[in-house]
Amino acid sequence: MKTLIRNLAVLAGALIGAAFLTAAPAAAAPGEAHEPEPHDWSWEGIFGTFDRQELQRGFQVYQEVCAACHALEQMSFRNLGEGDGPFTCFPDPNASHEDDGHHAEPLCYDNPNDNPVVRQIASAYIITDGPDDFGDMFERAGVPADRFPSVYANEQQARAANGGAYPPDLSLIVKARSGGAEYVRSLLLGYHEAPEGVTVRPGLYYNEYFPGGLIAMPPQLSEGMVTYADGTEATPEQMAHDVTAFLAWASDPHRVDRNRMGLMVLIYLFIFAVLLWFAYKQVWSRVEH
Amino acid sequence: MSGPSTYEPQTGVERWLDSRLPIARLMWDSFVDFPTPRNLNYWWTFGGILAIFLVIQIITGVVLAMHYTADVSMAFDSVQRIRRDVPFGWLIQSLHANGASFFFLAVYIHMFRGLYYGSYKAPREVLWILGVVIYLLMMATAFMGYVLPWGQMSYWGAMVITNLFGALPVVGEGIREWLWGGFSVGNATLTRFYALHFLLPFVIAGVVILHIWALHVPGNNNPTGLSVKTKKDTLPFHPYYTVKDGFAIVVFLMLFAAFVFYFPDVLGHADNYIEANPLVTPSHIVPEWYFLPFYAILRAITFDIGPISAQLGGVLAMFGAIAVLFILPWLDTSPVRSMRYRPVARWFFLIFLLVCLALGWCGASNPDDPVLGTPLTFVTFAQILTLYYFAYFLVILPVLGFTERPKERPASIEAAVLGNKPATTQPAE
């Protein structure tokens, strides 16, 4: 048993070492960017879950603010109503007439194609489809199966419209930045007067969390910029938190499923390991070793 | 196999098959009755763990291949589709990507075990060399697999590694274009890497069979390094080592599962979630963690050596770091296998282990940064470590065989296990 514990300790040490080695380049990011501000998220930890209210508010911020420049290429409208998505369940709009809406059961839809909220969101977008029988492209209202349409026709157009900068796609942004959700939230709130000695060219803004400090995206979140459907006060902190939560879900929509299955797998393997341990002891009790 | 076969066909069908294709006899003699030293510790369970991981990688890999598209315009999106839309695709993809890391973790433990207990020495030289061949094939497979998701690190990692071949004199340029299938990393590179990434694991499986064959002729080494002398030194593989390996495999799988389900991206790099862009170089190109020590050796050669440019020198040093393993059985001159009985060598081994870990740290760091605030930069640190890496094989092990006075060794494995106690129980057979 002693050797086992020792060996496990060595293994754990090797893994922590490996994790440390891969994490090291993140700390040595170029420019003198600040470390992202620590923040608590509902999905962290073994039993974490996405907060649907948060995701709904976050989607509203994305749609009303970010979507002007940033695409969500990997996402379809249907994703909004799948699994842990923001609109799989929503408050019953008719319930408030009957019992003040306080204890109303939310409406849930297994199939996003039937989900009225998802259908409504999709139908607000104009999708170019075709060619039709005459070889012409045509426009129609979106359906849940459609992808979120790109904001710009191509990268060149995006750059021309944004002073040379290319607004990145947001569907993986939380995974594609080494600071993750903390980084995205910090960046949205990180606009300040440039410190002395830093020249900020026109079209750029000083952001202490951005590598190099100068970012082409203007500050976005100002007090009361959106009016939340659920009445939550739209402070910049609240909006940054909500939209980051939405983007974290968009980057990793199966996260909660994965954690839930992980717990089952670990419990199963643990019981299996205990049984094998006793089998091992039993078999080896017959011989000196 | 060592010793005469003890297989006895029990049924008519078995007898019929045994006289035509004695495959049941082969399995019985190899994995049931195979005489195994009775003193193997947990470091010996990694062979079984590696076999399991090869199987995991091949099964998950074949499923991924059904959904993956090897085309520069679609590869990145097809991996995202696997993670988002394919049923349990997120699980299969995470198992495969993290499986590679754990495969390497296990193979490194397996190799350091061999280094410490002298498992490369006669009569196991061929066994060791086949192991190094498997390791080389694993490196090639893992490198090409990392290119397939076509993220920024995939693309730029492929660029850095293929450019290494361009540093070779005369033939370099030609080899590089041949690898690329063009004049840069592009679609032709991706499709050929995909084909080879699918092929090589089956080559590995073939060499693994040779590796096990070469193991079963001389039999296992053991922590004492002593050769098996009598039947009392050994136990049948089953049930003694099937149950012990089984326990170790499940414990290792728990560690694996913790990463697969809770930290699926910790061992990767955030930049690989950005689609490959030939026009934007990442600020800091780093390979996967399991290549970092070799990456550090590559970057440590910053000076020309005679006609050899610094770049070529780095490439030669990096390949030399693996090539030296092939001749290790003849570099170590000590007749004593296990470092348990080599009081001096074991300290040099411990330093060697730390040097390899420190090289990994150097590989992950910016070469010009200071090491923990000291005046030493990472590139200088890596140079010192590289010197020790080669000195360990080319100077320390050859010389120690002559100068070191080994400790007294027990008379036999049985004596080592029992000490001075008389044997009270016999193995039930």
Residue A143 counted as domain residue: yes
Closest listed residue to residue A227, CA positions, set A60, A108, A114 = A60
B221 and B322 belong to one structural domain: no
B295 and B252 belong to one structural domain: no
B113 and B182 belong to one structural domain: yes
Indicate the helix (H) or strand (E) that contains B37: strand B35-37
What domain range is A283 assigned to? 263-289
Residue B100 counted as domain residue: yes
Residue B429 counted as domain residue: no
Residues of A in contact with B282 (CB under 8 A): none
Residue A212 counted as domain residue: yes
B223 and B313 belong to one structural domain: no
Q: How close B295 gets to chain A, by Cα (Å)?
A: 13
Residues 256-285 of A with CB under 8 A from B: 257-259, 261-263, 265-266, 269-270, 272-273, 276-277, 279-280, 283-284
Number of domains in chain A: 2
Inform me whether the pLDDT recorded for A108 exceeds 60.
Answer: yes
Task: Write out the E strands in A10-160.
Answer: 89-90, 107-108, 126-129, 138-141
Give the list of residues 6+ apart from residue B180 with CB closer than 8 angstroms, or none.
Answer: B162, B186, B188, B189
Taking the C-alpha atoms of residue A89 and residue B336, their distance in angstroms, rounded to an integer, is: 70
A188 and A200 belong to one structural domain: yes
What is the CATH classification number for the domain harbouring B149? 1.20.810.10
Interface test with A, best of B38, B273, B361 (most A CBs within 10 A): B273
B45 and B32 belong to one structural domain: yes
Give the list of residues 6+ apart from residue A246 with CB closer than 8 angstroms, or none.
Answer: A54, A55, A57, A58, A59, A61, A62, A86
Inform me whether the pLDDT recorded for B287 exceeds 90.
Answer: yes
pLDDT above 70 covers what percent of chain A? 85
Residue type, B356: C
pLDDT above 90 covers what percent of chain A? 74
What is the CATH classification number for the domain harbouring B375? 1.10.287
pLDDT at A105: 83
Q: Are A70 and A64 in contact (CB under 8 A)?
A: no
Residue A244 counted as domain residue: yes
Model pLDDT for residues B128-184, shown as the tens digit of each residue:
999 999 999 999 999 999 999 999 999 999 999 999 999 888 999 999 999 999 999
Number of domains in chain B: 2
Closest listed residue to residue B117, CA positions, set B410, B290, B332 = B332
Model pLDDT for residues B374-415, shown as the tens digit of each residue:
899 999 999 999 999 999 999 999 999 999 999 999 999 999
DSSP structure string for B147-167: HTT-BHHHHHHHHHHHHHHHT
pTM metric for this prediction: 0.91
Residue A135 counted as domain residue: yes
- Residue A21 has its nearest CB partner, among B254, B261, B364, at B364
Say how far residue A199 (Cα) sits from the centre of its chain: 33
B259 and B356 belong to one structural domain: no
Q: Residue B145 has which token pair?
A: 């697999």
More confident site: B258 or A11: B258
Report which DSSP code applies to B277.
-
pLDDT above 90 covers what percent of chain B? 93
pLDDT at A99: 53
B253 and B319 belong to one structural domain: no
Q: Do B243 and A25 touch (CB under 8 A)?
A: no
A239 and A269 belong to one structural domain: no
Lookup result for tokens 């949205």: A188
A45 and A147 belong to one structural domain: yes
Residue B41 counted as domain residue: yes
A153 and A238 belong to one structural domain: yes
B44 pLDDT tier (thresholds 50, 70, 90): very high
B244 and B297 belong to one structural domain: no
Q: Do A22 and B246 touch (CB under 8 A)?
A: no
Three-state DSSP state, B109: helix
pLDDT at B419: 73
A34 pLDDT tier (thresholds 50, 70, 90): confident
A275 and A164 belong to one structural domain: no
Angle at B288 between CA A17 and CA A248, to 5 degrees: 85
Instruction: Please state the rounded mean pLDDT for residues A215-235.
Output: 93
B88 and B183 belong to one structural domain: yes
Residue B144 counted as domain residue: yes
A273 and A133 belong to one structural domain: no
ipTM of the complex: 0.92
Residue B409 counted as domain residue: no
What domain range is B262 assigned to? 22-266+273-282
Inform me whether the pLDDT recorded for A73 exceeds 90.
Answer: yes
Q: Residue A219 has which token pair?
A: 């500050």
B329 and B249 belong to one structural domain: no
Residue A5 counted as domain residue: no
Residue A257 counted as domain residue: yes
B244 and B293 belong to one structural domain: no
Instruction: Please state the rounded mean pLDDT for residues A121-149.
Output: 96
Instruction: Please state the rounded mean pLDDT for residues A106-119.
Output: 94
Pairs of CB atoms within 8 A across A/B: 155
pLDDT at A119: 97
A93 pLDDT tier (thresholds 50, 70, 90): confident
